[in-house]
């Protein structure tokens, strides 16, 4: 499968469920990144792989002029609807993180929260993030850790998925500081912050129902499996999260890395 075919499938997959219900489950990461990015009133901000606009709306409330772009048309339509309901003026459009439709140095601040990490060509993404950020402008990324957390959930699903195409980068390498330095260090002066956005729930089954309903990769995977395999995925997924049961219910730590940069 070529990258273009993979991205075509991703553009549909990410929009298959009501993704707008998911950001509340990683709110600590969203709030951390929104605060650390520190947008200023009137600044031009780009949110790459905006999803349903959870980060873009937070930044727009500061008075920044925000543009959000995402590969999935269904997510962009939801983002537009939610922004209108909130009375926010945000420019949302469909587009590719590997080929952003903006002139060099257009934005004062470029951000992406666990979004651009899923584009398969990491070098192309890094080049585009740098290209559209003005000299002296800023970068803010929220990335899942490669050591534990969301990556472990994906390992459960990976047993039921076809292998990725040759050369496609893993989303979770963006959570490694040395890798980020390799990708972005020539263009940005970088600093890093860390945090945790735990997955909570009353049971492993409840977490399964959330992801199988709302999260495009899980929902699509389950829909494409034969009934017996689907049932086994459901059991493996629920059992995985039951391994994080506490007296208050499910509590799976999900560490993340905040990447902050200033464009050289």
pLDDT of 100-136, one tens digit each?
999 999 999 999 999 999 999 999 999 999 999 999 9
pLDDT of 26-72, one tens digit each?
999 999 999 999 999 999 999 999 999 999 999 999 999 999 999 99
Residue 230 is assigned to a structural domain of this protein? no
Tokens of 56: 């873009």
Residue 223 is assigned to a structural domain of this protein? no
β-bridge partners, 92: 68
Average pLDDT in the chain? 97
Residue 56 sits in which domain range? 3-201+253-263
Q: Closest by alpha carbon to 149, among 254, 39, 258?
A: 254
For tokens 């499996």, name the residue: 225
Share of the chain above pLDDT 70, in %: 99
With beta carbons less than 8 A apart as the criterion, state whether 234 and 124 touch. Answer: no
Residue 207 is assigned to a structural domain of this protein? no
Residue 76 is assigned to a structural domain of this protein? yes
Residue 107 is assigned to a structural domain of this protein? yes
CATH of residue 134's domain is: 3.40.50.150
Residue 96 is assigned to a structural domain of this protein? yes
Residue 219 is assigned to a structural domain of this protein? no
pLDDT of 82-102, one tens digit each?
999 999 999 999 999 999 999
For tokens 């947008």, name the residue: 39
Domains of the chain: total: 1
Burial class (CB in 10 A: 0-12, 13-18, 19+), 247: exposed
Check whether 18 has a pLDDT greater than 60. Answer: yes
CB neighbours of residue 222 within 10 Å = 20
Local confidence band at 2 (pLDDT 50, 70, 90 cut-offs): low
């Amino acid at each position: 499968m070529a990258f273009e075919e993979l991205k075509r499938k991703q553009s549909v997959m990410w929009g298959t469920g009501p993704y707008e219900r998911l950001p509340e489950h990683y709110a600590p990461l969203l709030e951390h990144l929104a605060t650390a990015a520190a947008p200023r009133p009137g600044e031009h901000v780009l949110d790459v792989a905006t999803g349903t606009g959870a980060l873009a709306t937070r930044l727009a409330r500061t008075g920044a002029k925000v543009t959000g772009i995402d590969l999935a048309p269904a997510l962009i339509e939801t983002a537009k609807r939610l922004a209108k309901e909130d009375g926010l003026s945000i420019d949302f459009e469909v587009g590719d993180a590997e080929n952003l439709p903006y002139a060099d140095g257009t934005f004062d601040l470029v951000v992406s929260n666990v979004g651009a990490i899923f584009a398969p060509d990491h070098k192309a993404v890094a080049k585009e993030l740098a290209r559209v950020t003005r000299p002296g402008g800023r970068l803010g990324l929220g990335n899942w850790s490669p050591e534990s957390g969301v990556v472990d959930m994906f390992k459960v699903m990976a047993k039921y998925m076809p292998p990725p195409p040759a050369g496609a980068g893993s989303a979770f390498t963006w959570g490694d500081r040395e890798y980020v330095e390799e990708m972005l260090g020539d263009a940005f002066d970088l600093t890093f912050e860390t945090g945790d956005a735990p997955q909570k729930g009353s049971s492993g089954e409840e977490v399964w129902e959330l992801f199988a309903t709302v999260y495009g990769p899980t929902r699509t995977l389950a829909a494409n499996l034969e009934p017996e395999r689907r049932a086994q995925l459901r059991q493996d997924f629920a059992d995985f999260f039951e391994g994080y049961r506490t007296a208050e219910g499910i509590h799976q730590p999900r560490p993340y890395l905040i990447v902050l940069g200033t464009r050289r």
